[in-house]
Structure 1
Amino acid sequence: MTVDEGDINDSFRGLMQSLNLDENQFKNYDIEFETLSFPQLSAVKSEMESQLDMDTALLSGDGYPRNDIDVVSIRLIRVKVIRLRNDYKKVLELLEKKLVEQLGRSSTAQVENEIRVPETPPLIPFALVKEVAFESPAFNSGLEEGDKIILFDNDIHVRNHDKLASISRRVSNRIDQPIKVEILRNEQQQSLELTPTNNWNGRGVLGCRIIPL
């Protein structure tokens, strides 16, 4: 003969009521612990810890065995507590596993962030401005003959300008769009905004020559 789980639960519920005890003191956890997140598992762990004192329901107020509980009832309560302890052990194991996974993800994210940190462009002059035409785009931006370019459009610098071909390509693709230019003038760094355009009376879209250093 098998005993249905529902019958056990009904018997337990009746027992707790007869003892004037809260049946929720020994809560059933009919859930898949594996599906819970780390914070959810932590909450379940705390809840279980408040229920795990096996002797609470079996002792009188002065600490002696209660004479109003028979052996069957004691066994029933202990079965519930044993199940609860098994669930508690499983929750602890899953918490440890998820904590390791969480720390692993944090470490991986930190490494990825470190990898993504862009390299600071070297502020070394690589080009020289020559022959700035009056009222040209270069003139209107504030460029002067003798200015030394150290950074063009935030990412073209001494290591990647490709004999100034990178500047030429960028200018061709940014007609009538502002380009930030970092220069050295009299050993002082300055930021200018250069807008290449055909809308002026001179030759080219800049109105100056730029030569490599």
Structure 2
Amino acid sequence: MMSGLTSSSREELLRLDEQRAAVMRQIEEAMAFLNTTPVGLNGPLVDGEGFPRNDCDLYAVRRARQAVICGRNDLKALENSMHEKLALLHEENQEEATKQMERDNEARRKGKSDALQREQRMRLVREMSKKSPFVRVLTTSANSPGAQAGLTAGDLIVQYGEIDAATVAAKGFGEMARVTASHEGKMISVWLKRKGEAEDEAVEILLVPTRWAGSGLIGCEFEPCLQG
């Protein structure tokens, strides 16, 4: 019944994302030009005596600066529109909304280079990969929030929101239920290890505990697997 709305919202998000990418390219091109000039983005356009500088194309500099300023404003407006569409999509289809939230997270990565982002992500993956699992997924019910998020039987969870093996060892497995209940309708970052992943590398999924046709908020069965 909502598939038409979901498709329309998804297409609108893709359109906005394409516009955002075009604006970012425009800003990058303008900044690349400005960085080749002696004045850059904020340098004075007059010399020490108050006369227009003669060591650069002032018209081109002004045009590039305007492109950067307008582009940043356009980028904010586009990102706000994307956030609104994502909220609507979340209501239309929980599974699709969760996937789009990942795209939304990517859209918020502004002002950082791709190389820096990749390094930060790799550092986080390495950190999570060193953690010991504290709970194993036994079963996942079809169409449950857990299944939609990507949880599968055999997954070994090493981080669930803010808790890990050390938290559970100190406070008990009730912490997992507490985090789940406090995040009803909200996104939880879940790091896990599963068979087939290279070198026992941890992977992240995004889970949104939600009331559904079955019992509980996740639709999965777990068993403790604390080591030591």
The TM-score bracket by the shorter chain reads 0.3 to 0.5
- Between Structure 1 and Structure 2, the one with more helix by share is 2
What's the TM-score, normalizing by structure 1? 0.41
Tell me which structure has the larger Cα radius of gyration.
Answer: 1
What's the TM-score, normalizing by structure 2? 0.39
